[in-house]
């Protein structure tokens, strides 16, 4: 009888030890994960992630628009973008100057002149990089009887020129856009796209 009781006690102790051996690593793993999570939360609290910040100030006064944007990076360095635009509605002109100053103190400028014409507009843009080199883009848009045409000439800092000509033709049920682009090396690429347009419903008879 004593031998039977002793055998049963040994089996019970063996089962308890088996459960403990299996459960202990799981519990330790959970405790370790909680510790890592707590450490990460502490690090985020003591060392918050730095973020960029941007402020923009806009002002309008008698046909003159100004805008100044200051951006402060995570390291505390700042860059600015200052734009001034002068609009003459009677003459149909717009002159806009933009100065961009980077975190290293170097500047780049963009000057644009837009003028309204009898059947469209012209736009001339001059860009000057931090190295002093300039590029120009000249665009002319002319409205036609059934669409419009846009011609653009771009001259890069190296003096090389590329052109782009787009004709848009509208019909009752479609719009076709044809673009011819010529690269500085003289290579030409043409693309034609057509979009179907649903005509408006006819007006009811009186």
Mean pLDDT score, 129-150: 96
Structure confidence at residue 24 (pLDDT): 46
Lowest mean pLDDT among 24-38, 100-114, 169-183, 192-206: 24-38
Write down the pLDDT at residue 3.
47
CB 180 within 8 A of CB 190: yes
User: What DSSP element (H or E) covers 120?
Assistant: strand 120-128
Percent of all residues in the chain with a pLDDT value above 90, rounded to a whole number: 61
- The domain ranges of the chain are 1-49, 50-120, 133-198
Residues 6+ apart with CB under 8 A from 51: 74
User: Which pLDDT belongs to residue 204?
Assistant: 72
- pLDDT at position 39 is 56
Cβ pair 138, 153 in contact under 8 A: yes
Q: What is the spatial distance between Cα 40 and Cα 46, in angstroms, rounded to a whole number?
A: 10
**To the nearest whole number, what is the mean pLDDT of the chain?**
82
- Per the rule left: phi > 0, alpha: psi between -120 and 50, beta: everything else, 185 is alpha
Q: What is this structure's pTM?
A: 0.68
Percentage of the chain modeled with pLDDT above 70: 72
Structure tokens at 92: 């149909």
For residue 159, with 0-12 CB atoms within 10 Å meaning exposed, 13-18 middle and 19 or more buried, which class applies? exposed
**50-120 CATH:** 2.20.25
């Amino acid at each position: 009888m004593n031998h039977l009781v002793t055998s049963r006690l040994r089996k019970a102790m063996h089962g308890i030890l088996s459960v403990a051996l299996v459960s202990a690593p799981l519990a330790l793993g959970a405790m370790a994960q909680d510790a890592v999570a707590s450490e990460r939360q502490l690090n985020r609290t003591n060392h918050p992630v730095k973020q960029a910040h941007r402020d923009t100030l806009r002002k309008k006064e008698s046909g003159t628009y100004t805008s100044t944007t200051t951006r402060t990076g995570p390291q505390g360095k700042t860059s600015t973008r200052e734009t001034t635009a002068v609009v003459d509605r009677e003459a149909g002109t717009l002159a806009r100057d933009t100065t961009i100053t980077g975190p290293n103190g170097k500047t780049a400028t963009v000057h644009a002149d837009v003028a309204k014409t009898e059947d469209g507009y012209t736009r001339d843009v001059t860009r000057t990089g931090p190295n002093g080199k300039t590029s120009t883009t000249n665009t002319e848009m002319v409205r036609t009887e059934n669409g419009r045409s846009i011609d653009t000439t771009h001259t890069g800092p190296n003096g090389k020129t590329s052109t782009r000509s787009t004709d848009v033709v509208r019909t009752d049920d479609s719009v076709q856009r044809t673009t011819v682009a010529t690269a500085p090396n003289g290579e030409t690429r043409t693309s034609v796209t057509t979009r179907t347009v649903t005509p408006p419903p006819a007006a009811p008879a009186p």
